[in-house]
Amino acid sequence: MALIVVLSVFNGFENLVTSMFNSVNPDLLISPKSGKSFSTDSIAKAEIKNMDGVLYFTEVLEENVLLRYDNKQHIANIKGVSGDYLQMNKLQNHMVDGEAVLQNNGVNFALIGAGISYYLDFYQSGSGRSISIYAPNRKEGYNLNFDDAFSNKNILVSGVFNVQQEFDTKYIITNIDFAKNLLGYKNEISAIEIGLDKTADVDLIQKKIRQLMGNGFQVKNRFEQQELLYKIMKSEKWAIFLILTFILIIATFNVIGSLSMLILDKKKDIRVLQSMGANTKLIKQIFLIEGSLISISGAVLGLFLGGLICCLQLKFGLINLGEANGSFVVDAYPVKIQILDFVYVFFTVCIIGIAAAWIPARQISKKYLDVKLG
């Protein structure tokens, strides 16, 4: 029961974190293997856009910048994106202030993360207030004069988004034309984000784009974009599984002790069976089967109770994350039930239980339980 509950909660957190990253990470990300940018003239944009399953094609230009509002400053990444970005990432679903608009009637706007809004003390977006963006001037060499070393532009903030902490404190999203003008780029971009149809074969499209782009580019799916994070979450889950399994092994000493006491208690009954012709092997099998039935019935009951608790938590949110006053993404512990967890737990418990039943059963010997007649 404990194994099922803990593993399901880990699945819930993993699913929650994955959904948060998936809301901003594209299905496929194309970036150069070396350097920060590449020319759009060097890629076959039309062929990629016309591939079956490709819905969105977004050009991205990203660079470190300094943001300034009143007396507050913050280092962030400006992310200039083309028109498909908001439709692909559904960023409008994560807005906590203002609207998800990057350009309107020829006027450029910016979207900032909730973390950036906090550090700049910037609130009430869309009220006509702007922030200053400073970027290194690519046309100038080494210069101690701040005004010459950095290019500066002001931009109106249309909204504030809240996705997850790392993203919210890092990115300011703007129109790609504004970003190119600020950074001094012409046809260069730093990446291409691709959104796919839900029924599309991601692996097949990824393979086609890799062949099309050549060796100078890397094409990553969502797992590869956050590979370290996913590996850490998987490792944590299986580490907890091994720890609880070790606790289960210790708990099986109760089964060993109970069967040992049962053998001593049934000593006379065993001798009756021996007098009726039962040999030592048969008697060992009887106690082995009994111990196995205890373990299997306990496993089935534990799986049922664990599944029941997870279903109740999933439906009613019985256990909260504490008095967070809405500061957490979810109010109650997230749960996701996976059938494979039930299979792994069942076989683990059964193997440990059968081993625990075999230990006292093998101690039965003919000498120890010898029949004394007359």
One domain for residues 182 and 240: no
One domain for residues 237 and 320: yes
Predicted confidence band of residue 271 (pLDDT cuts 50, 70, 90): confident
Sign of CA dihedral 90, 94, 100, 102: negative
- Cα 332 from Cα 187, distance rounded (Å): 48
281 located within any domain: yes
Which of 225, 251, 285 is at the close of a domain?
A: 225
Instruction: Extract the tokens encoding 198.
Output: 């839900």
One domain for residues 194 and 288: no
- Cα 144 from Cα 139, distance rounded (Å): 14
Query: What pLDDT does residue 321 have?
Result: 81
9 located within any domain: no
The answer to whether 160 and 32 are in contact (CB under 8 A) is no
Query: What pLDDT does residue 113 have?
Result: 95
One domain for residues 171 and 88: yes
- Mean pLDDT, to the nearest integer, of 186-192? 94
List CB contacts of 281: < 8 A, sequence separation 6 or more. Answer: none
Which of 225, 247, 276 is at the close of a domain?
A: 225
21 located within any domain: no
One domain for residues 145 and 123: yes
One domain for residues 150 and 209: yes
One domain for residues 134 and 270: no
Query: What pLDDT does residue 371 have?
Result: 45
Query: What pLDDT does residue 260 have?
Result: 86
The answer to whether 158 and 97 are in contact (CB under 8 A) is no
One domain for residues 54 and 193: yes
Mean pLDDT of the chain: 89
One domain for residues 54 and 37: yes
Which of 206, 225, 244 is at the close of a domain?
A: 225
111 located within any domain: yes
Number of domains making up the chain: 2
Residue numbers of the domain that contains 89: 26-225
Choose among 151, 158, 219, 183: nearest CA to 77.
Answer: 183
8 located within any domain: no
The answer to whether 216 and 62 are in contact (CB under 8 A) is no
One domain for residues 148 and 204: yes
pTM for this entry: 0.80
Choose among 244, 232, 88, 102: nearest CA to 171.
Answer: 102
Spell out where 24-149 has E strands.
28-32, 38-39, 54-69, 72-81, 95-98, 103-104, 107-113, 130-136
One domain for residues 78 and 167: yes
One domain for residues 100 and 113: yes
Query: What pLDDT does residue 63 have?
Result: 95
The answer to whether 92 and 99 are in contact (CB under 8 A) is yes
Q: What are the tens digits of pLDDT across the range 127-185?
A: 778 999 999 887 655 556 666 678 899 999 999 999 888 899 999 999 999 999 999 99
46 located within any domain: yes
Query: What pLDDT does residue 160 have?
Result: 94
Could you tell me the CA-to-CA distances from 294 to 170, 283, 304 in Å, in that order?
Answer: 55, 17, 15
Predicted confidence band of residue 373 (pLDDT cuts 50, 70, 90): very low
The answer to whether 328 and 321 are in contact (CB under 8 A) is yes
Task: Indicate if the pLDDT at residue 261 is higher than 70.
Answer: yes
Share of the chain above pLDDT 90, in %: 59
Query: What pLDDT does residue 374 have?
Result: 38
109 located within any domain: yes
369 located within any domain: no
Q: What are the tens digits of pLDDT across the range 327-346?
A: 567 888 999 999 999 999 99
**Of residues 79 and 141, which shows the higher confidence score?**
79
